[in-house]
Each structure stands twice: as C-alpha cells, then as structure tokens.
Amino acid sequence: TSHMEESLHSRLIEAVQTLGRGLEVSILAGASLRYQALRILFPHEKDVLLVDATRPLPEIALVRKGVLIAVSETSQSVSSDNEAGPGDLMNGLTTIAKSYPLPHTILLLARTERLRSSVGILNALHYDAFGRVDSPPRIIPLVAGTMKSVVRVATTESPDLPLLLMALYYQYLEQRP
C-alpha cells in the first residue's frame, strides 16, 4: 500500500480535484496516516506498536522515539476463519522483532464488535518469544466511539475508525498555522 506508480498517482490526484475546485489532495499510505493521526492523539507515546485490527488482516507498525520505522503487513491469513487470529498477529510481531526490540505499549485499533476478542488475542500471545519476559504489554484500545470527542461526527450511523483517523489528520492540518 505504500508504493504507487507515478502516473497512477497523478491520475488519482487529477480525478479527485475534478470533484471539487480548490481541493488540496494528498495521498498517504495507510500506516503513515494511522501514525500521523495517532501521534496527534497520543503525543506522549514515543515508543509504541500500532496494531490495526480493523481490517481482515492485521497491519503492525513500530514507532521508535516518535518516528515510524517499520511496518509489517499480513498478506494472507494463517487462520481458517478469514479474520485476524493469533497466528497472524504473531507473524507480524515476529517480522518486526527480527530487526527491532518491541516496545511495551500497543495502540490497538479495532472495530467495537471485535475489541474484546482483539485484546484477548494480544493478551494471550507469548511475548517471551520476543525477549519480553518482564511483564505483558500495556494495550491501549482505540475504537470509533472513543474518537467522537476529538472529531465531529455528523451521522447517526456507527462511524468508521479509519475515516475518523483521516478526518482527525485533516482537521489537524487545517488548524496548523
């Protein structure tokens, strides 16, 4: 998701700009957008794993000293029910842990209906395989409902967390001098 041919990039920008005059269009990779938005919400969290469990397959990003330095995207589930399972998360964590020590804090992005199972999966993983034997990680869950205080939602439908993160990032850009 982080690589796009230059000609496709240009055509996408042109197509979106034709929808509205004066729109400033930028294209960000999903991991980068989540990092930018979560940095706004949690500026004090400098060493953290961002676990996106809102999608069928998880994406894990590592932030060290406030900088996004590694991303692990799962391309195919190892579980049979077509939803992210312990094996998928363990594979993503293993990929990152091969090159970097894992931080103690996890920001978990999850759909409200899957929050409990996602936290349960993260709590059940064997972190000692990554040299984390001192204590289990601190998991900070983030669901769409928790974003309502920072992003105005103009619908009665259940908001979509990735769209709320986009709105938060755009709102932040608009407020910058």
Rounded Cα gap, residues 37 and 6, in angstroms: 25
Q: Where are the alpha helices (DSSP H) in the chain?
A: 6-19, 30-41, 86-97, 115-124, 161-175
pTM above threshold 0.85: no
Query: Collapsing DSSP states into helix, strand and coil, what is residue 112?
Result: helix
Q: By C-alpha distance, which of 131, 54, 57, 142 is closest to 92?
A: 57
Instruction: Look up residue 173 and give its amino acid.
Output: L
Q: How far is Cα 47 from Cα 68, in angstroms, rounded to an integer?
A: 9
Q: Tens-of-pLDDT digits for all 177 residues of the chain?
A: 345 577 776 776 677 667 666 656 565 666 777 787 888 788 888 999 988 888 777 888 999 998 889 888 766 555 555 556 677 788 888 888 889 988 888 988 887 787 888 888 888 777 766 666 567 788 888 877 777 667 766 666 666 777 777 777 777 777 776
The structure tokens listed for 103 are: 């931080």
Which token pair is 135?
A: 């204590």
CB-based contacts of 89, cutoff 8 Å, min separation 6 = 51, 58, 60, 121, 122, 125
